[in-house]
Protein backbone atom coordinates (compact mmCIF):
# COMPACT_ATOMS: atom_id res chain seq x y z
CA UNK A 1 0.00 0.00 0.00
CA UNK A 2 1.36 3.40 -0.99
CA UNK A 3 1.22 6.19 1.56
CA UNK A 4 -0.38 9.17 -0.18
CA UNK A 5 -1.29 11.24 2.90
CA UNK A 6 -0.38 11.51 6.57
CA UNK A 7 -3.85 10.24 7.42
CA UNK A 8 -2.85 6.85 5.94
CA UNK A 9 -0.52 6.44 8.92
CA UNK A 10 -3.15 7.18 11.54
CA UNK A 11 -5.14 3.93 11.55
CA UNK A 12 -2.11 1.59 11.91
CA UNK A 13 -0.62 3.69 14.74
CA UNK A 14 -4.00 3.98 16.47
CA UNK A 15 -4.50 0.19 16.30
CA UNK A 16 -0.93 -0.37 17.57
CA UNK A 17 -1.53 1.78 20.65
CA UNK A 18 -5.04 0.52 21.31
CA UNK A 19 -3.66 -3.02 21.42
CA UNK A 20 -1.59 -1.82 24.40
CA UNK A 21 -4.60 -0.47 26.23
CA UNK A 22 -4.43 3.17 25.20
CA UNK A 23 -7.40 5.39 24.48
CA UNK A 24 -6.45 7.07 21.20
CA UNK A 25 -7.87 10.21 19.63
CA UNK A 26 -6.75 12.34 16.70
CA UNK A 27 -6.13 16.07 16.29
CA UNK A 28 -6.10 17.11 19.94
CA UNK A 29 -4.95 20.75 20.22
CA UNK A 30 -2.62 20.54 17.24
CA UNK A 31 -1.26 17.05 17.98
CA UNK A 32 -1.85 14.44 15.26
CA UNK A 33 -2.50 11.69 17.79
CA UNK A 34 -2.88 11.63 21.57
CA UNK A 35 -3.10 8.41 23.58
CA UNK A 36 -3.86 8.08 27.30
CA UNK A 37 -3.84 5.10 29.67
CA UNK A 38 -4.66 4.85 33.38
CA UNK A 39 -3.55 8.34 34.33
CA UNK A 40 -0.11 7.96 32.73
CA UNK A 41 1.46 10.91 30.93
CA UNK A 42 -0.01 11.21 27.43
CA UNK A 43 1.66 9.65 24.43
CA UNK A 44 1.83 12.07 21.51
CA UNK A 45 2.53 10.95 17.94
CA UNK A 46 3.24 13.26 15.01
CA UNK A 47 2.68 11.80 11.54
CA UNK A 48 4.53 12.68 8.35
CA UNK A 49 4.97 11.10 4.91
CA UNK A 50 8.73 11.75 5.14
CA UNK A 51 11.25 12.43 7.87
CA UNK A 52 11.71 16.21 7.68
CA UNK A 53 12.94 19.10 9.77
CA UNK A 54 9.32 20.23 10.22
CA UNK A 55 8.51 16.87 11.77
CA UNK A 56 11.45 17.15 14.18
CA UNK A 57 10.44 20.68 15.16
CA UNK A 58 6.89 19.51 15.82
CA UNK A 59 8.21 16.73 18.02
CA UNK A 60 10.43 19.11 19.98
CA UNK A 61 7.48 21.42 20.54
CA UNK A 62 5.34 18.54 21.87
CA UNK A 63 8.03 17.72 24.45
CA UNK A 64 6.77 20.74 26.37
CA UNK A 65 3.55 18.77 26.98
CA UNK A 66 4.82 15.21 27.45
CA UNK A 67 8.06 13.25 27.59
CA UNK A 68 6.45 10.48 25.51
CA UNK A 69 6.58 11.93 22.00
CA UNK A 70 6.96 9.77 18.90
CA UNK A 71 7.55 10.65 15.26
CA UNK A 72 5.86 8.27 12.81
CA UNK A 73 6.91 7.91 9.17
CA UNK A 74 6.35 5.25 6.48
CA UNK A 75 8.65 2.38 5.69
CA UNK A 76 10.91 3.88 2.98
CA UNK A 77 10.48 2.42 -0.49
CA UNK A 78 13.26 1.62 -2.93
CA UNK A 79 12.85 4.96 -4.72
CA UNK A 80 12.49 6.99 -1.53
CA UNK A 81 14.46 10.24 -1.31
CA UNK A 82 15.55 12.25 1.69
CA UNK A 83 16.27 11.08 5.22
CA UNK A 84 15.19 7.56 6.12
CA UNK A 85 14.05 6.46 9.60
CA UNK A 86 16.53 3.60 9.22
CA UNK A 87 19.52 5.94 8.86
CA UNK A 88 21.88 5.93 11.80
CA UNK A 89 22.09 9.73 11.81
CA UNK A 90 18.31 10.05 11.97
CA UNK A 91 18.17 7.73 14.96
CA UNK A 92 21.04 9.56 16.63
CA UNK A 93 19.21 12.88 16.20
CA UNK A 94 15.99 11.53 17.68
CA UNK A 95 17.86 9.86 20.53
CA UNK A 96 19.65 13.09 21.43
CA UNK A 97 16.39 15.04 21.40
CA UNK A 98 14.54 12.44 23.45
CA UNK A 99 12.06 11.64 20.68
CA UNK A 100 10.67 8.22 19.87
CA UNK A 101 10.55 6.93 16.30
CA UNK A 102 7.91 4.70 14.68
CA UNK A 103 8.06 3.16 11.22
CA UNK A 104 4.74 2.28 9.57
CA UNK A 105 4.06 -0.17 6.76
CA UNK A 106 0.30 -0.43 6.15
CA UNK A 107 0.95 -3.14 3.58
CA UNK A 108 1.83 -5.70 6.26
CA UNK A 109 -0.62 -7.84 8.18
CA UNK A 110 -2.54 -6.21 11.01
CA UNK A 111 -0.52 -6.16 14.21
CA UNK A 112 2.77 -6.01 12.32
CA UNK A 113 2.38 -2.67 10.60
CA UNK A 114 4.18 -0.54 13.19
CA UNK A 115 7.80 -0.99 14.21
CA UNK A 116 9.25 0.88 17.19
CA UNK A 117 12.71 2.02 16.16
CA UNK A 118 13.30 4.19 19.24
CA UNK A 119 11.55 4.90 22.52
CA UNK A 120 11.71 8.44 23.93
CA UNK A 121 14.06 8.08 26.86
CA UNK A 122 16.41 10.69 28.38
CA UNK A 123 19.76 10.54 26.65
CA UNK A 124 23.14 11.91 27.72
CA UNK A 125 25.74 11.24 25.02
CA UNK A 126 29.19 10.15 26.11
CA UNK A 127 31.99 12.31 24.80
CA UNK A 128 34.43 10.62 22.42
CA UNK A 129 37.78 11.51 23.95
CA UNK A 130 39.74 10.31 20.92
CA UNK A 131 37.71 12.52 18.56
CA UNK A 132 38.14 15.47 20.93
CA UNK A 133 41.90 14.87 21.04
CA UNK A 134 42.10 14.73 17.22
CA UNK A 135 39.96 17.87 16.91
CA UNK A 136 42.12 19.91 19.26
CA UNK A 137 45.32 18.46 17.79
CA UNK A 138 44.34 19.47 14.26
CA UNK A 139 43.38 22.94 15.45
CA UNK A 140 46.71 23.38 17.24
CA UNK A 141 48.86 22.08 14.37
CA UNK A 142 47.16 23.97 11.56
CA UNK A 143 48.97 27.21 10.79
CA UNK A 144 46.70 30.21 10.29
CA UNK A 145 43.19 29.79 8.88
CA UNK A 146 43.56 28.83 5.19
CA UNK A 147 40.03 27.49 4.65
CA UNK A 148 36.58 29.05 4.44
CA UNK A 149 33.90 27.66 6.74
CA UNK A 150 31.10 25.88 4.88
CA UNK A 151 33.28 24.90 1.91
CA UNK A 152 32.19 21.89 -0.14
CA UNK A 153 33.77 20.11 -3.10
CA UNK A 154 37.11 21.77 -2.47
CA UNK A 155 40.27 20.33 -0.97
CA UNK A 156 40.57 21.25 2.70
CA UNK A 157 43.96 22.49 3.83
CA UNK A 158 44.68 20.29 6.83
CA UNK A 159 47.72 20.46 9.06
CA UNK A 160 49.04 17.38 7.21
CA UNK A 161 48.62 19.09 3.84
CA UNK A 162 50.41 22.16 5.19
CA UNK A 163 53.32 19.96 6.27
CA UNK A 164 53.39 18.36 2.81
CA UNK A 165 53.40 21.83 1.25
CA UNK A 166 56.36 22.83 3.44
CA UNK A 167 58.29 19.84 2.14
CA UNK A 168 57.26 20.55 -1.45
CA UNK A 169 58.38 24.15 -1.21
CA UNK A 170 61.80 23.06 -0.01
CA UNK A 171 62.09 20.70 -2.99
CA UNK A 172 61.25 23.30 -5.62
CA UNK A 173 64.93 24.03 -6.17
CA UNK A 174 65.84 20.40 -6.71
CA UNK A 175 66.08 17.02 -4.90
CA UNK A 176 67.18 16.91 -1.27
CA UNK A 177 68.00 14.22 1.24
CA UNK A 178 65.77 13.60 4.21
CA UNK A 179 68.53 14.86 6.49
CA UNK A 180 68.89 18.07 4.48
CA UNK A 181 65.14 18.61 4.59
CA UNK A 182 65.11 18.24 8.36
CA UNK A 183 67.94 20.77 8.74
CA UNK A 184 66.07 23.18 6.49
CA UNK A 185 63.04 23.12 8.77
CA UNK A 186 60.86 20.35 7.33
CA UNK A 187 58.40 18.60 9.70
CA UNK A 188 59.91 16.04 12.08
CA UNK A 189 58.09 13.18 10.35
CA UNK A 190 59.29 14.21 6.89
CA UNK A 191 60.68 10.71 6.26
CA UNK A 192 57.39 8.83 6.76
CA UNK A 193 55.52 11.56 4.85
CA UNK A 194 57.79 11.15 1.84
CA UNK A 195 57.32 7.39 1.94
CA UNK A 196 53.53 7.62 2.20
CA UNK A 197 53.38 10.27 -0.51
CA UNK A 198 49.65 10.76 0.08
CA UNK A 199 49.20 13.42 -2.60
CA UNK A 200 51.64 12.03 -5.16
CA UNK A 201 53.86 15.10 -4.85
CA UNK A 202 57.17 13.37 -4.14
CA UNK A 203 59.38 10.84 -5.89
CA UNK A 204 62.44 8.94 -4.72
CA UNK A 205 65.35 9.86 -6.98
CA UNK A 206 68.13 8.25 -4.98
CA UNK A 207 68.91 6.61 -1.66
CA UNK A 208 67.26 8.77 0.97
CA UNK A 209 66.78 11.56 -1.57
CA UNK A 210 63.53 12.90 -2.96
CA UNK A 211 62.41 15.29 -5.62
CA UNK A 212 59.19 17.04 -6.59
CA UNK A 213 56.79 15.57 -9.15
CA UNK A 214 54.79 17.72 -11.63
CA UNK A 215 51.81 17.15 -9.33
CA UNK A 216 53.86 18.56 -6.48
CA UNK A 217 54.67 21.68 -8.48
CA UNK A 218 50.96 22.12 -9.19
CA UNK A 219 50.16 21.54 -5.53
CA UNK A 220 52.48 24.33 -4.41
CA UNK A 221 50.85 26.66 -6.92
CA UNK A 222 47.29 25.60 -6.11
CA UNK A 223 47.76 26.03 -2.37
CA UNK A 224 49.88 29.16 -2.42
CA UNK A 225 47.40 30.76 -0.02
CA UNK A 226 48.05 28.01 2.51
CA UNK A 227 51.80 28.58 2.27
CA UNK A 228 51.26 32.29 2.85
CA UNK A 229 49.55 31.41 6.14
CA UNK A 230 52.88 30.22 7.55
CA UNK A 231 54.16 33.78 7.93
CA UNK A 232 57.54 35.40 7.35
CA UNK A 233 59.17 33.80 10.37
CA UNK A 234 58.43 30.25 9.29
CA UNK A 235 61.81 28.47 9.10
CA UNK A 236 60.85 26.85 5.80
CA UNK A 237 60.74 30.27 4.14
CA UNK A 238 64.48 30.70 4.74
CA UNK A 239 66.81 29.75 1.87
CA UNK A 240 68.50 26.41 2.23
CA UNK A 241 72.26 26.79 2.88
CA UNK A 242 74.17 26.15 -0.34
CA UNK A 243 76.34 23.58 1.43
CA UNK A 244 73.27 21.46 2.23
CA UNK A 245 71.92 21.88 -1.29
CA UNK A 246 75.22 20.79 -2.81
CA UNK A 247 75.43 17.85 -0.44
CA UNK A 248 71.95 16.75 -1.38
CA UNK A 249 72.78 16.91 -5.09
CA UNK A 250 75.94 14.89 -4.49
CA UNK A 251 73.92 12.23 -2.65
CA UNK A 252 71.42 12.26 -5.49
CA UNK A 253 74.22 11.55 -7.93
CA UNK A 254 75.48 8.63 -5.87
CA UNK A 255 72.01 7.11 -5.74
CA UNK A 256 71.68 7.25 -9.51
CA UNK A 257 75.06 5.65 -9.97
* pLDDT tens-digit series, residues 113-123: 899 999 998 77
Kindly state whether residues 135 and 113 are assigned to the same domain.
no
Q: Let me know whether 50 and 154 are in one domain.
A: no
**Model confidence over 184-224: pLDDT tens digits?**
999 999 999 999 999 999 999 999 999 999 999 999 999 98
Task: Say if residues 162 and 143 touch (Cβ distance below 8 Å).
Answer: yes
Is position 1 within any domain? no
Confidence of residue 244 (pLDDT cuts 50, 70, 90): very low
Same domain flag for 33 and 72: yes
Better-predicted residue by pLDDT, 151 or 159: 159
Pair 25, 99 in one domain: yes
For residues 241 and 134, state if they share a domain.
yes
| Residue 125 belongs to a domain | no
Question: Is the same domain home to 57 and 77?
Answer: yes
Last residue of a domain, one of 90, 118, 146: 118
**pLDDT reported for residue 150:** 81
What's the pLDDT score for residue 232? Answer: 41
Q: Are residues 141 and 195 part of one domain?
A: yes
Say what the pLDDT of residue 115 is: 92
Q: Which range, 8-17, 98-107, 195-204, is most confident?
A: 195-204
The parent domain of residue 242 ranges over 130-256
Beta bridge partners, 68, equal: 43
Query: Does residue 137 belong to any structural domain of this protein?
Result: yes
- pLDDT of res. 230: 57
Would you say the pTM of this structure is higher than 0.75? no
Residue 124 within any structural domain of the chain? no
Say whether both 138 and 103 belong to one domain.
no
Specify whether 136 is located in the same domain as 237.
Answer: yes
Q: Which CATH number do you get for residue 150?
A: 1.10.10
List, for residues 30-40, the tens digit of each pLDDT value: 999 999 999 89
Does residue 210 sit in the same domain as residue 161? yes
Q: What is the pLDDT of residue 125?
A: 67
Assigned domain for 202 exists: yes
Give the Cα separation of 208 and 83 in Å (integer): 51
**Based on the domain organization, do 35 and 95 belong to the same domain?**
yes
Question: Are 145 and 223 contained in the same domain?
Answer: yes
Specify if 123 maps to a domain: no
User: Has residue 247 been placed in a domain?
Assistant: yes
pLDDT of residue 84: 73
Any domain includes 154? yes
Give the pLDDT confidence score for residue 119 in this predicted structure.
Answer: 93
Q: Please say which residue of 83, 118, 153 terminates a domain.
A: 118
The strands making up 209-212's β-sheet, listed across from edge to edge, are: 176-177, 209-212, 202-206
> Residue 236: is its pLDDT beyond 60?
no
What per-residue confidence (pLDDT) applies to 40? 92
Q: Of 92, 118, 144, which residue constitutes the final position of a domain?
A: 118
Query: For residue 37, what is the domain's CATH number?
Result: 3.40.1350.10
User: How many folded domains does the chain comprise?
Assistant: 2
Amino acid sequence: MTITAETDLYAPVKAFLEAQGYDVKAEIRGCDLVATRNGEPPVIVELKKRFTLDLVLQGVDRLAVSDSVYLAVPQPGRKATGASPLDGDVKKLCRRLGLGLLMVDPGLAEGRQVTVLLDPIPYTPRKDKKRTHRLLGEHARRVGDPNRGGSTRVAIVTAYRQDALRIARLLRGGPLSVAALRKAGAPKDVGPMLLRNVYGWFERVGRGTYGLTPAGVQGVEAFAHALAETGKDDPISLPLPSREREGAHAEHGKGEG
